[in-house]
Structure 1
Amino acid sequence: MTSGPTTPAVSVVIVSYQTRDLIRRALSTLRTASPAGSYEVIVVDNASTDGSAEAVENEFPEARVVRLTRNVGFGRAVNVGASRARGTWILLLNPDTELVGDVIGEFVAYARANPEHRVYTGRTLHDDRTDDGRSAFALPSLWGYVCFATGLSTVFRRSRLFNPEELPGLDRSMPARVPAASGCLMLLQRSLFAELGGFLPDYFMYSEDIDLCHRATLLGASPVLVPGARVVHVGGASSTGVNKRIMLLQGKTTYLRLRWTPRRAAAGRALLAAGVAVRAAGARLTGRAGYWRQVWAARRTWLAGWPPPTQLPAVEVAGPAQSATPGV
């Protein structure tokens, strides 16, 4: 861990919301796994009420804690942390992760040897150390949504043809270029993050990382998977069940609104709606996976996507002199 005026190589940015025990575990494994690394830690707390910020301040004094006055979502909170970062690279890390080995060292070594990629992800694992397949994705496509609408992506989840979005054929034991990296575990050049203007405030949660990778690729980046950078990912600790699925769909429809033509976006939304309707009907018939019926009932919410930034309040940092953070 760095001390004094030394400029760190990596700024680790973690966004926390109601994850007190999880973030303590994440920071503990980070401290143990990378004792000699040149890095700093910035924790942005989204107005948690479970003592997350206090626990980090008390147990990890090396971390800088930035407290927000309200929950502003993932991307806008990351932007706050990144605006305070000093490292050459920014490492986005979920609070519900546990590092396996020297993740920072693995990332930095690969990034220095292969700087042309500019965006890097690793492997997110189950507790048994098998890949959970959630660290890299394909960009959304009409074909992928056709497969979702017809249920093919569920029935043939391991098929490259019928489940293209999850990249089931990707060999994650080898370095590989990927279309998009997950914000759960993403290293990128701080200069690139600044050039992109950070995450778009249009997203509260989900798909903001895919959008960022899409925009980074337009600037010449080529996201890559670094197999030696591994974390165990509890997954969805801050949002689970019906609410998580609704937010996932809100992220998807926001991406369609921003990145696809109006006609294509309308087709994408119709296919997403059809896929949820099919699953809700199946849940009614079988009595299983009843959450899909609740997701279908909330379709007006997620088909509209997240509210546009003009409708969002400013991001305010809590403290003796509360201030709004511009541009997020």
Structure 2
Amino acid sequence: MTPPASASAAANAVRIVPFGTESPDLSVVVVTYNVRDLLEACLASFCASAGPLTVEVCVVDNASIDGSADLVRARFPQAALIGCATNRGYAYANNLALRQARGRHVLLLNPDTVLPPKALRTLVGILDGDPTLGAVGPKLVRPDGSLDLACRRSFPTPEIALYRMLGLSHRCPRSRRFARYNLTYRDPDQPAEVDAVVGACMAIRGAALRQVGLLDERFFMYGEDLDLAYRLKQAGWRVRYDPSVVVLHMKGASSRQASLRARRAFFAAMLRFHRKHYWHQHSSLVNVLVVTGVALWGALSLARIAATRVLRRR
């Protein structure tokens, strides 16, 4: 990777070690899919991270055709590179690297993020400072400065999912009842214990990950971070949202390339999460209503996307 510009910068920079060979403070895993320019910016921000930390990094290229793998080899040679012949999903790709990771903690990082210099050090410090934490996530902001609402969430129980499907969470963002999914009634600049943070930038305690297991590869895209957080909470670990770190998120860059496929994956993930964690807790009637509701919501969403594409061709 490009070395720091001065001896002073080098002294304060993270020390990057070969992936899977030592026991560093942090293992960083970046799964990329056809976002070469964003990946370059992400890895450049990683290289500028402040120490003192030892870090290993692995980029998993999910069958990109835009030269992403060549970029990593040429510009960031200290990053391990795993190339996938086919795109088998976000969870599958992450797990390829996680099985080799040796860090005390792990950071799942999207290629469409840009880290501030002290992000890695701060996230590791938060986990080191509270042994009850299984995971921590930063505040994520969009390019326009708005909050990425996914950075702090409650689990999508049937009730909470219903409020979201009906649009009540959007219409009543200050309601403690209707806005529980994205917690928009809370101050985004205050740290809080939450159900889940987003996998776009999620720091996980290594011991906790080893206890609950890797990402569930049945989630192709979306939902795997919620599922991991659910398993962490079930095992007694806490999950924290901490806005002392603010990360830029160019949200959805990879998924926008195939929005119909991405939306199908989103609704499939919703159903899978319910079946895995809530199906046995509810009556057959509730389960039928959930499946029907998600199916209708998905059909309407996909119809809107298809109609928009038709209009754009005219």
Q: TM-score range by the shorter chain?
A: 0.7 to 0.9
Residue in structure 2 matching 1:33, options 46, 49, 59: 49
| Aligned-residue offset at 1:85 | 0.8
Task: Judge conservation of contact 2:115–2:248 (CA < 8 Å) in 1.
Answer: yes
Task: Name the CA shift for 1:149/1:27 in 2 (closer, same or farther; >3 Å).
Answer: closer
Q: Aligned partners of 1:93, 1:126: CA distance in 2, in Å?
A: 15
Aligned to 2:180: 164
Q: Residue 254 in 1 paired to residue 272 in 2?
A: yes
Aligned to 1:266: 288
* Structure-2-length-normalised TM-score: 0.84
Residue in structure 2 matching 1:140, options 150, 156, 161: 156
Task: Judge conservation of contact 1:149–1:273 (CA < 8 Å) in 2.
Answer: no
Task: Judge conservation of contact 2:33–2:63 (CA < 8 Å) in 1.
Answer: yes
Aligned to 1:175: 191
1:253-298 residue CA offsets vs partner (Å, 9 max, x unmatched) = 1111211226243222222234456778xx8xxxxxx32768xxxx
Q: Aligned partners of 1:130, 1:257: CA distance in 2, in Å?
A: 33
| Aligned-residue offset at 1:171 | 2.3
Aligned to 1:299: none
1:54-112 residue CA offsets vs partner (Å, 9 max, x unmatched) = 10111011111111221111111111111111110000000000112311111011111
Matched letter for residue 269 of structure 2: G
Q: Aligned partners of 1:216, 1:26: CA distance in 2, in Å?
A: 27
Q: Aligned partners of 1:149, 1:124: CA distance in 2, in Å?
A: 23
Q: Aligned partners of 1:122, 1:153: CA distance in 2, in Å?
A: 22
Task: Judge conservation of contact 1:101–1:230 (CA < 8 Å) in 2.
Answer: no
| Aligned-residue offset at 1:128 | 4.0
1:116-172 residue CA offsets vs partner (Å, 9 max, x unmatched) = 112111111122444222212110122223223433233334533223211112323
Aligned to 1:244: 262
Task: Judge conservation of contact 1:26–1:97 (CA < 8 Å) in 2.
Answer: yes
Q: Residue 45 in 1 paired to residue 47 in 2?
A: no
Residue in structure 2 matching 1:13, options 29, 45, 58: 29
Identity of aligned residues (%): 29
Task: Judge conservation of contact 1:152–1:163 (CA < 8 Å) in 2.
Answer: yes
Task: Judge conservation of contact 1:14–1:78 (CA < 8 Å) in 2.
Answer: yes
* Structure-1-length-normalised TM-score: 0.81
Aligned to 2:305: 291
Q: Aligned partners of 1:293, 1:216: CA distance in 2, in Å?
A: 40
Structure 2: gaps spanning 5 or more residues: 1-14, 309-314
Aligned to 2:102: 86
Which deviates the most, 84-93 or 235-244? 235-244
Q: Aligned partners of 1:276, 1:65: CA distance in 2, in Å?
A: 35
Task: Name the CA shift for 1:107/1:62 in 2 (closer, same or farther; >3 Å).
Answer: same
Which deviates the most, 123-132 or 20-29? 123-132
Matched letter for residue 2 of structure 1: I
Matched letter for residue 43 of structure 1: V
Q: Residue 73 in 1 paired to residue 95 in 2?
A: no
Q: Aligned partners of 2:42, 2:168: CA distance in 1, in Å?
A: 36
Note the aligned Cα RMSD (angstroms). Answer: 2.3
Aligned to 2:222: 206
Aligned to 1:193: 209
Q: Aligned partners of 1:222, 1:293: CA distance in 2, in Å?
A: 43
Q: Structure 1 residue runs of 4+, over 4 Å off?
A: 276-280
Aligned to 1:315: none
Aligned to 2:312: none
Matched letter for residue 291 of structure 1: I
Structure 1: gaps spanning 5 or more residues: 284-289, 295-328
Secondary structure in 2 matching 1:118 = strand
Q: Count residues with an aligned counterpart.
A: 287
Q: Aligned partners of 2:179, 2:300: CA distance in 1, in Å?
A: 17
Matched letter for residue 268 of structure 1: V
Q: Aligned partners of 1:169, 1:130: CA distance in 2, in Å?
A: 15
Which deviates the most, 28-37 or 187-196? 28-37
Task: Name the CA shift for 1:182/1:149 in 2 (closer, same or farther; >3 Å).
Answer: closer
Task: Judge conservation of contact 2:164–2:181 (CA < 8 Å) in 1.
Answer: no
Task: Name the CA shift for 1:78/1:6 in 2 (closer, same or farther; >3 Å).
Answer: closer
Which deviates the most, 135-144 or 145-154? 145-154
Q: Aligned partners of 1:39, 1:265: CA distance in 2, in Å?
A: 44
Task: Judge conservation of contact 1:149–1:274 (CA < 8 Å) in 2.
Answer: no
Task: Judge conservation of contact 2:264–2:298 (CA < 8 Å) in 1.
Answer: no
Q: Aligned partners of 2:279, 2:236: CA distance in 1, in Å?
A: 23
| Aligned-residue offset at 1:11 | 0.3
